[in-house]
Amino acid sequence: MLVILFFLVVMCSSSWTADPAPCCIPQQFKARMYSLTAVLTAGSTLPVINDDVIELTYDFTRQQTRQEGQTLIDPATGARANFTVYNDYKNHQTYTIKGGVCTQTALNQPLVPPCITANFTYGGTYRVGSSASNTQVQIWSGTYLGTLWMNTHVSDQNCAPVSVNFFGDAPDGSAKLLTSYQFLDVRSDVTLHESDFRRPDECKHVDAPVGK
């Protein structure tokens, strides 16, 4: 009986493992990203939906991102239009270029940090890929900015983002949000420079920002 009890204790102890600690990706990276967002502005009954394919440049140290992408403009034909977005989180400004015209707007939310938020809960793992070559993915979820429910899926090996999803009320109460980002080809072995975020001439002389 003692032998059986000892065997059961050993088996239970070896099968239990502590949850991993929240991880961090490098503070600079580039990635290809698929973005699907729905925004229902307060007082409106129809959400604005955007389906975008984006080349993302992310720099948490400089508090800047650049997005070069194509947004879906005709679901029937799949036609897309080019755009570029410079987000300057340090100075709270967004510069959006469409059709050669630059529009400046206020940027009121912070840049999503490179580390899993400390209060997020670990939700387990799953694997993506073939049986011969696959990656284990961790799931983390919790409240973000006080009003949004967010879940983040990251690679178990290097914390590279796989997907980020959040929904809920915007922190300022201006809209309801539903956002999903899917990441491909995340490259963290990059060195970014100020020139990576230098705005083109059409953004150097724009009207005063909207909403600021």
Taking 90 as the threshold, does the pLDDT of residue 131 lie above it? no
Q: Is residue 20 part of a domain?
A: no
List, for residues 31-64, the tens digit of each pLDDT value.
999 999 999 999 999 999 999 999 999 999 999 9
Q: Report the C-alpha gap between 111 and 60 in whole angstroms.
A: 7
Q: Is residue 100 part of a domain?
A: yes
Q: Is residue 177 part of a domain?
A: yes
Tokens describing residue 204: 């150097």
Q: Is residue 13 part of a domain?
A: no
Q: Is residue 118 part of a domain?
A: yes
State the residue range of the domain holding 102. 28-203
List, for residues 15-32, the tens digit of each pLDDT value.
457 889 999 999 999 999
Q: What is the CATH number of the domain that holds 93?
A: 2.50.20
Q: Which run of H or of E encompasses 35?
A: strand 28-41
pLDDT-based confidence at residue 93 (cuts at 50, 70, 90): very high
Q: Is residue 17 part of a domain?
A: no
**175-187 and 64-74 as β-strands: parallel, antiparallel, unpaired?**
unpaired
Taking 60 as the threshold, does the pLDDT of residue 5 lie above it? no
What total of structural domains would you count in the chain? Answer: 1
Percent of the chain residues past pLDDT 90, beyond the cut = 78
Tokens describing residue 87: 């987000």
Q: Is residue 3 part of a domain?
A: no
Q: Report the C-alpha gap between 211 and 164 in whole angstroms.
A: 27
Q: For residue 206, what pLDDT is reported?
A: 63
Q: Is residue 18 part of a domain?
A: no
Q: Which residues pair with 150 in a beta bridge?
A: 142, 166
